[in-house]
Amino acid sequence: MRRVVLAERPDWRSKAAECGFGFHTIDDAPYWDESAYYAFSLREIEQDIEAPSEELHAMALDLLDGIVGNEQKLRQLAIPEPYWDWIAQSWRERQPHLYGRMDFGYDGSGPAKLYELNYDTPTSLYEAAFFQWQWLEDQLARRQLPAGSDQFNSIYESLVEAFGTIARGIARPFHFAAVRDSVEDQGTIAYLRDCALQAGIDCGSLAIEDIGISADGRFTDLDDRVIGCLFKLYPLEDMFRESFGQYLPRSGLQLIEPPWKALLSNKGILPLLWDAHRGHPNLLAAAFDDGDELPRGWVRKPLHSREGANIAMRLDDGRELRTDGPYREGPCIRQACHPLTGFDGNYPLIGSWIVGDRACGIGIREDRSLITQDSARFVPHAIVEETRGVLIA
């Protein structure tokens, strides 16, 4: 794994505009960054990322039977009691799920280490599945990449295939929803909806704020139609505590991601995974936090923190890093500290995409600090033939 500096495509901004990529620059700061790329060997991709991703995904799903009926574990995961039966039923029925992203610390040496599962509302999907793919094709055509370069990225094909597979199980009308004012979240659901249409599924979209409720507790769209299935790019745990949440279990509304994803998109799954697979090479030691002082070499994370918010990291040398954010309350976990490796002062985090149950690609976000936050930039990657140049040099 190397970080390679490469000239940008001169026309990438106009291409972004043509392809609906409205958030390549956020608050005047670059988000899409093709001034460099990460080069991997095929072995690194297949053995160190793809295979462990599928294994960890299976391990996580295998925990669910033991969680849904276990009051102690549901409490550890801070799942509100009124939702227990609803979540359990969604798992027993194997209500269809679509996608998730695992975040790994990996630098090409040693096993990739799982930081967390983003299994409810993962973003950076469009840029990974589409714009990164187009970057590779363009740079190959411009001969800026070694001939035969490839990319770990069949995310698009997998999404269309997944929608096709679950099409029959999606209740209609089917809507995609995200908060109205987030360009990034709106861009993500626009892409997902594009893929669903390509799979032959008729679907609409609306702002999450526009969802209505009827007198008999059913959810409606702006035409007063009862929503059959809602893809919501909005955290389940936030829905639970908002005023309409109480209606969810008896509304008949189908959700994607389904309710059982609340058990996985929760940092509490990390100690449960560790307990079940202690010493697994891709797992970091983890435990539920008791509130005591954080020892050296540990990280504290809230169960539901997103975008690297409210993280406390105590490095081996005693230095402490903290990020602020909105998740000050609520339970936390601890995870053994495995700091990201710096590449020219940048710290890349590997996001490994799972669509359906298939590991099908990666997207890399790099930040200037050890904790990846919403300031991170998306940097493309390529699979490049392993160089034999070392021998010649």
Partner 1 sequence: MKRSKTAVLLLMSTAPLLLSACDRSESASREGLYTSVEACVAQTNDSATCKQAFDKAQKDAATTAPRFANREECEAKYGKEQCAERNDGANHSFFGPLMTGFFLSQMLRNGSPMSGFNSAPAFRDSNGGWQQPAPGGAGGVYRNGAGSAMVPINATADRAVTTSRSGFGRSGSSRGFGS
In terms of Cβ atoms closer than 10 Å to its own Cβ (0-12, 13-18, 19+), residue 55 is middle
In sequence order, the β-bridge partners of residue 326 are none
DSSP 276: H
On whether the CB atoms of residues 324 and 310 are closer than 8 A, the answer is yes
- Closer by beta carbon to partner 1, 226 or else 336: 226
- Which residues have C-beta within 8 Å of that of residue 356, sequence separation ≥ 6? 97, 98, 99, 158, 161, 162, 165
In angstroms, what is the minimal distance from the CB of 344 to partner 1? 26
- Closer by beta carbon to partner 1, 167 or else 315: 167
Distance CA 187, CA 145 (A): 28
Tokens (6 digits) for 79: 């799942």
- Closer by beta carbon to partner 1, 314 or else 362: 362
- Closer by beta carbon to partner 1, 314 or else 381: 381
Distance CA 296, CA 312 (A): 11
In angstroms, what is the minimal distance from the CB of 141 to partner 1? 8
Q: In what order do the strands lie in the sheet with 377-379?
A: 113-118, 99-105, 347-355, 358-367, 377-379
Q: How many CA atoms lie within 13 A of 350 on its CB side?
A: 31
246 — phi, psi (to 5°)? Answer: -55, -25
- Closer by beta carbon to partner 1, 242 or else 316: 242
In angstroms, what is the minimal distance from the CB of 346 to partner 1? 20
In angstroms, what is the minimal distance from the CB of 374 to partner 1? 5
Tokens (6 digits) for 323: 């990020």
- Closer by beta carbon to partner 1, 40 or else 314: 40
242 — phi, psi (to 5°)? Answer: -85, 170
In angstroms, what is the minimal distance from the CB of 10 to partner 1? 15
In angstroms, what is the minimal distance from the CB of 229 to partner 1? 9
- Closer by beta carbon to partner 1, 133 or else 274: 133
- Which residues have C-beta within 8 Å of that of residue 193, sequence separation ≥ 6? 176, 203, 205
In angstroms, what is the minimal distance from the CB of 297 to partner 1? 25
